Amino acid sequence: MTPDTMGLTFLAFCLPFLGALVAPALTRLLGHNAAWPLALIPLAVFLHFLGFNAEVARGEIVTGGYAWVPSYNVSFSWLIDGLSLAFLLLISGIGTLIVLYAGGYLKGHRHQGRFFSFILMFMGSMLGLVASDSFLMLFVFWELTSITSFLLIGFDHAREASRRAALQALIVTGGGGLFLLAGLLLLWNVTDVTQLSLLMSFGAEVRASPFYLPLLFLILGGAFTKSAQFPFHFWLPNAMEAPTPVSAYLHSATMVKAGVYLLMRLNPVMGGTPAWETILPAFGGLTLLVGAVLAIRQTDLKLMLAYTTVASLGLLVMLTGFGSEYAVAAAALYLVAHSLFKGALFMVAGLIDHETGTRDITKLGGLRGAMPVTFLAALLAALSMAGLPPFFGFLAKEEIYVALAGGSLRAIAFTAAAVIGNGLMFAVAFAVALKPFLGKRVETPKHPHEGPALLWIGPMLLAVKGLVIGIFSAVAHALLTSPLASAIAGKPQTVTISAIPHVGAALLLSALTVAFGIVIFLVLDKARAAANRLVEDIGWGPDRGFDQVMRGLVRAAVSVNRLTQPGRMEVYMTATFAVVALALLVPPAVYGEWPRAPVWPANIPFHELAVMLLAVLGIGAVLAANNRLTAIVALGIQGFCVALLFLLFGAPDLAFTQFMIETLSVVILALAMTRLKLTPRDHRSLREKIPDAVIAIACGLGFALYLLRVTQGRFDTALTDFFNLYSKTIAHGANVVNVIIVDFRGTDTLGEIAVVMVTGLAILSIIRIRKGGKAGGEA
């Protein structure tokens, strides 16, 4: 990679984020037409990555990047092979159309600029995720997609349903991200590499590692939550609360595919083991069936599509883990085909909603006259989704059946799952594409007419692309799907399937699927009722389970909080000092590390003795004081005596600071005491005083013993020598203490003064609250 391309690639990764910065201002300036200039950003990214196509198609892997934190071996580096490139192109290509679509869909919306900003940020995170080479970068972008999708799903933040959906998505996918982090750290430990490109040659080590199973669970924890595999599938349909451009983007090519991406990326490293080939297809197949059945149940266009997305993701996971060359090729084909038709259909659903005011399939009909272009786009996309020739979806489905068909029990089971799932999706595809357009005209909340070009360009282009790729499959295979399949398999693969049907088991299964789909489509209302009954009989679902878990968590937090934060100062003080005393006294008792009895020095100078005596007198005065203020001042005597001792033993800096601190703490304590409106005298009875006294004495004793022990140990002068030696030569200062504070350990000091300031702010606000929250005025 030449430096020029490297810089440009880096720019391509930054561009969406830069776009997010200018989007609000641009939208204020141009209104919804800001979509046109903003769409240039993903387009530029798309074209840039298209330039890598030739290299990648030759089987090369493009890597590049910059050192980020070299001391920790962390880099901002990318890896572009067939898998990354396919994702990069899908994300930026569909992203371009989505930006345009959002321009039309949210026209006149108060926060359209904010929306553009969010979606571009999301796009940037997604691009970074699929191109990351370093583990850390992968994780950072992974969590960034969770956070930005939270913003997108909760975009309509005034509605509770959308807030809940956003939070749910964040908790499920963000929580999954933590599994991923743990998994990546474990991978790092096992292989000692932090880059995916290097990891590829460690497959055997990883699979043979004793940590393989925990590793697998951690990675799957990340991938399954992100890609909405059963039983974590519930967040995806709930996320339909988001505006349709979000659904079309997140749930076709991007967010939910991230988990699938991760599995495909790690397939050459972790795949091929019995665990991988059991867990992945089992969960994938189950998700496929659950998603398809739940899709049939819905009447809302977007929800129908959402559940088929769940089903499709299940299919992809199943194929990724199935473990044959054809399965990998099928996964590659289906991945691309699904992104195209699902993106188009979601946009169609939004378009219908936008123009008619409803997306309930039972309240729609006869729109073909009013919205012919939409109808055409829907039909083309549905044909691909249904898997009919010569559409791209057909190729994918044929390859799936070629991969799955076989004589073993395992093959038969998964083939059956695929046929049922695909058949149900076939029915849903046509329900979405036909029901609203055919039949009698039904009255809708808004008078329907064709949407503006901004709205139908996207679905139309994607749907047509599904047809074009299907027809010119040889080109697509050479440029896109073969490198993609090779990257997933970890070795060169050629995808050869074309739109011309071949007689064989696969075609037979396809015919079976189509027949089953047509039957379901014809009896859709009855099938819906049956699916409804089934779900109602089960009653409980993971969605409710999520609520129960969250409620339990909140309840546990509240009870812990009540236990530990009763709000009484006495309890806090007692607890704090009791713990201090225990921490000081228990370890020496356990390890037998008591100090030796100190030898009383023979000739202590008179003035030192006097100072010590004065300190003791100060303490006595504190105890004897019958008035709080007197006690505070008496405590000051003791403090000054200690400062004097510091001075006598040659620590002027410490002594000065101690003097000032004592002065100020007496002033501030006295002020605080007058503020607190306490009784001037101590109100504790003797029975309360005794435990307090015990704790106080234990603390004092603990500190005294601790200091004795420390001073009796051998003093390591390495640091002292270092600072004495270099204070003048490196830091140009003769006062070692000050040089340490402001230079050698300056970053510590920076943290400390930040704490000082924040503490000041906190105290200030507490005082203000005490004054009854009177705002305004000088404080």
Partner 1 sequence: MNTLIFRTVAPFLTALMVLFSLFVLLRGHNEPGGGFIGGLIAVSALAIFGIANGIAAVRKALWFHPMAISAFGLFIACLAGLLSMVFAVPFMTGLWVYPVILGVEIPLSTVMLFDAGVYLVVVGAITSIALALEAGDDL
Residues that bind partner 1 (CB under 8 A): 652-653, 656-657, 660-661, 663-664, 667-668, 671-672, 675, 731-735, 737-739, 741-743, 746-747, 749-750, 753-754, 756-757, 759-761, 763-764, 767-768, 771, 774, 777-779
CA distances from 499 to 463, 469, 471, 756 (A): 16, 10, 6, 71
Residue (512 or 736) nearer to partner 1, CB: 736
Minimum distance from residue 127 beta carbon to partner 1 (Å): 28
Bridge partners of residue 422, in order along the sequence? none
Residue (198 or 742) nearer to partner 1, CB: 742
Residue (107 or 768) nearer to partner 1, CB: 768
Minimum distance from residue 760 beta carbon to partner 1 (Å): 3
Alpha helices in 271-324 (DSSP H): 274-297, 301-322
Residue (616 or 660) nearer to partner 1, CB: 660
Kindly report the number of other CB atoms within 10 A of residue 686's CB atom. 7
Minimum distance from residue 591 beta carbon to partner 1 (Å): 36
Minimum distance from residue 395 beta carbon to partner 1 (Å): 54
Residue (37 or 733) nearer to partner 1, CB: 733
Residue (554 or 769) nearer to partner 1, CB: 769
Minimum distance from residue 69 beta carbon to partner 1 (Å): 12
696, HSE (Cβ side, Cα atoms, 13 Å): 8
Residue (68 or 188) nearer to partner 1, CB: 68
SS3 690: helix
> ∠ CA(408), CA(412), CA(415), 5° rounding?
135
312 with 334: CB under 8 angstroms?
yes
Rg of the chain, C-alpha, whole Å:
35
Residue (351 or 739) nearer to partner 1, CB: 739
Minimum distance from residue 656 beta carbon to partner 1 (Å): 5
Minimum distance from residue 765 beta carbon to partner 1 (Å): 10
Q: How far apart are CA 5 and CA 79, in angstroms?
A: 14
What residues contact 678, with CB distance under 8 A and at least 6 apart?
A: 628
Environment class of 619 (CB within 10 Å of its CB; exposed 0-12, middle 13-18, buried 19+): middle
Minimum distance from residue 715 beta carbon to partner 1 (Å): 23
Residue (577 or 726) nearer to partner 1, CB: 726
Find the largest Cα–Cα distance for the chain.
112
Residue (71 or 685) nearer to partner 1, CB: 71
Minimum distance from residue 669 beta carbon to partner 1 (Å): 10
Minimum distance from residue 629 beta carbon to partner 1 (Å): 13
Residue (503 or 734) nearer to partner 1, CB: 734
Q: Which candidate, 536, 328, 338, 500, places its Cα nearest to that of 425?
A: 338
Residue (516 or 726) nearer to partner 1, CB: 726
Kindly report the number of other CB atoms within 10 A of residue 511's CB atom. 11
The residue to which tokens 């030696």 are assigned: 725
Residue (543 or 743) nearer to partner 1, CB: 743
> Which residue type occupies 338?
H
CA distances from 635 to 619, 625, 756 (A): 6, 10, 23
Helix (H) or strand (E) holding 221: helix 212-226
For residue 537, give both structure tokens: 């009989």
For residue 405, give both structure tokens: 């068909």
Minimum distance from residue 71 beta carbon to partner 1 (Å): 10
What residues contact 252, with CB distance under 8 A and at least 6 apart?
A: 94, 309, 338, 339, 340, 342, 343, 346
Residue (714 or 732) nearer to partner 1, CB: 732
Helix (H) or strand (E) holding 487: helix 482-489
For residue 607, give both structure tokens: 């003035």
Minimum distance from residue 776 beta carbon to partner 1 (Å): 10
Minimum distance from residue 213 beta carbon to partner 1 (Å): 42
Residue (557 or 660) nearer to partner 1, CB: 660
490, HSE (Cβ side, Cα atoms, 13 Å): 22
Environment class of 169 (CB within 10 Å of its CB; exposed 0-12, middle 13-18, buried 19+): buried
Q: How far apart are CA 215 and CA 203, in angstroms?
A: 13
Q: How far is CA 119 from the centre of its chain?
A: 16
Minimum distance from residue 741 beta carbon to partner 1 (Å): 6
For residue 777, give both structure tokens: 């005025």
Minimum distance from residue 565 beta carbon to partner 1 (Å): 24
What residues contact 334, with CB distance under 8 A and at least 6 apart?
A: 312, 315, 316, 319, 396, 397, 399, 400
Bridge partners of residue 80, in order along the sequence? 62
Kindly report the number of other CB atoms within 10 A of residue 725's CB atom. 10
Could you check whether the bond before residue 390 is cis, i.e. omega within 30 degrees of 0?
A: yes
The residue to which tokens 């420390």 are assigned: 710
Minimum distance from residue 727 beta carbon to partner 1 (Å): 10
Q: How far apart are CA 166 and CA 52, in angstroms?
A: 36
Minimum distance from residue 548 beta carbon to partner 1 (Å): 45
172 with 235: CB under 8 angstroms?
yes
The residue to which tokens 């709930």 are assigned: 238
Minimum distance from residue 102 beta carbon to partner 1 (Å): 38
Q: Alpha-carbon dihedral of residues 767, 770, 774, 779, nearest 10 degrees?
A: -10
Residue (656 or 703) nearer to partner 1, CB: 656
Dihedral pair phi/psi, residue 275, rounded to 5°: -60, -45
Residue (478 or 670) nearer to partner 1, CB: 670
Residue (547 or 748) nearer to partner 1, CB: 748
